[in-house]
Amino acid sequence: MTERQLQSKRFLLVEDDPYSRKIMERILRQAGASAVFLASDGIEAVHRANKLGVAIDCVISDLHMKPMHGLYLLQAIRSGVVPLPRDTPMVIVTANANDHLLRYAIELDCNGFMAKPVSYNSLQERVTRAFGEVFDLKDPPKYASLKLPPRILSTDYVKINGIDYPVYGTPARKNAGEENQDGASARLPGAGKRVTVDALAPGATIKRELRSASGMLLLAPGVQLTKLIINRLQDIAEMDEEVDTIWVED
């Protein structure tokens, strides 16, 4: 994306680390962004969105934030409970390419992943792709009903437009059997063909579990790939060589 293309764009940058927030703000301004609004976590981002009175073209958000996690911010946007269009592009920033939570971001139709430390080129590339993506929004209840893992739940809640959202407080206890759910051995059902991420086509169906290098489940068998999911897999593949190839149905 050229500086001229960015001049009319407004960004909401959500990052709880002041240093990382400053770096990304500087990159966006150097790239010619029209405006960059700052928030230190999901709750502040919602409050800023309520008061801005101007359109936001893209949200760039850290994943692990306190008190409100980045996944809940994404879920709130897609569910339509914050004053932003539900299809507002949102790019997730993470320090860990093997983070098991990335699969939930995919299910919530995230528009990109960036690894820390964020560079000028990677930010421009992800934002360019995010603005160019077209995807079919699910109905709000589909997003709102997605059960996020108990690792990021708590006993504390904040009310956003009448809906309670979990925030960090006392960590919720995991249910029995959940400790090793993501780290279980991959199941390898039947035949299939192995395809590189770059060669994937929309409509293909996942044949075998796709896991990160650390063993975290990213996609389960039976998931039908959309262009949006393929783009996210390409983002992850740049950060994690284990995701370079995928087994799909013949």
Distance CA 179, CA 82 (A): 33
- pLDDT at site 1: 46
Better-predicted residue by pLDDT, 31 or 241: 31
Whether pLDDT at 41 is above 80: yes
Better-predicted residue by pLDDT, 27 or 171: 27
pLDDT band for 183, please (50, 70, 90 cuts).
very low
Distance CA 234, CA 244 (A): 8
- Topology of 3-141 in CATH? Rossmann fold (3.40.50)
Per residue in 131-176, pLDDT (tens digit) is 988 888 999 999 988 888 766 655 455 566 565 655 544 444 444 4
Residues of the chain with CATH 3.90.105: 193-248
The answer to whether 214 and 243 have CB atoms below 8 angstroms apart is no
pLDDT band for 185, please (50, 70, 90 cuts).
very low
Angle between helix axes 42-52 and 70-79 (nearest 10 degrees) is 40
Architecture of domain 193-248: Alpha-Beta Complex (3.90)
Mean pLDDT across the chain, nearest whole number?
80
Whether pLDDT at 201 is above 70: yes
- pLDDT at site 163: 58
Q: How many CA atoms does the CB half-sphere of 130 hold within 13 Å?
A: 26
Instruction: Kindly compute the dihedral angle of the four CA atoms of residues 82, 83, 85, 90, in this order, to the nearest 10 degrees.
Output: -60
Residues of the chain with CATH 3.40.50.2300: 3-141
